[in-house]
Every structure is written in C-alpha cells, then in structure tokens.
Amino acid sequence: MNKPITVLYVEDDEDIRDVSEMALEGDEFVLLSCCSGNEALEKAALSDPDLFLLDVMMPDMDGPTTLEHLRKLPHLSSTPAIFMTARVQPSEVKAYHDCGAIGVISKPFDPMMLAEQIKGLMAKEGL
C-alpha cells in the first residue's frame, strides 16, 4: 500500500471544510485542516505536506497570497498546490496556474469525486 498523501487543506467555511474532510478521510489522505492562511503558515512550518489544497476567497489572506507565503518556507518551495474556488473563469484559472497551482477544483464540488480529482491532477503532473 502506498503511503497516504499529506494535504495541507485551507478552507475558511466550516461546512465546506467538514464535507471535504469526510470526502477525503481514509487510507489515501492525511489532512492538516486549517481555517485561515495564517493558521496554514503555522502548521506548514511544523510539517511537510505533499500537497496544498487552498480555498481562493478567504478573509485576511486569500489563497494565492497564502500560497505565496507558503512558498517562502524552504522545505515547501516546490510543494504542489490545487485551488478550490467558485471563481473559474478562464482568466481566473490562468491566474491560479500563473501563481503556481497544478490545478483548480471548482465549487460546488462533488464530494464523491474529490479524492479522484486530486489524484488525477497530481498524476497529470507526474506526482
């Protein structure tokens, strides 16, 4: 059996976070859940996640800004990132890719497909 994928997951909406946690719990993923960019930076400094899964629109620090700060931590400078957002116009998706995301999962998402979407995006990148 492969080792589980450790995901630093940042989502400010508790309901969405709960649904995602239920969708991803199991043998394939270990979630380090955070409710803000600042909490993510604190947890990231003490961990070595395989993937960042970031909400885009959050108060105080949005997803792209959170990613920018996470990338400044030397051990996380090349950790792959996926954004989750309802803002999926082509220009917005391009901007997410431009700031370093390997993919975008649109909200609302299908909880039954979330794990497969994540694994598919990682496989596409050869991860």
Residue type, 25: E
> What's the chain's Rg over C-alpha atoms?
13
Enumerate the β-bridge partners of residue 55: 84
Please say if the pLDDT value at position 2 is more than 80.
Answer: no
pLDDT digits over 42-101, tens only?
Answer: 999 999 999 999 999 999 999 999 999 999 999 999 999 999 999 999 999 999 999 999
pLDDT of residue 21: 95
The CATH number of the domain holding residue 115 is: 3.40.50.2300
The domain tally of the chain equals 1
**Spatial CA neighbour of 9 closest among 87, 62, 82:** 82
pLDDT digits over 6-21, tens only?
Answer: 999 999 999 999 999 9
- Domain of 32? 5-124
pLDDT of residue 122: 95
pLDDT of residue 1: 52
pLDDT of residue 26: 83
**Spatial CA neighbour of 41 closest among 80, 68, 13, 5:** 68
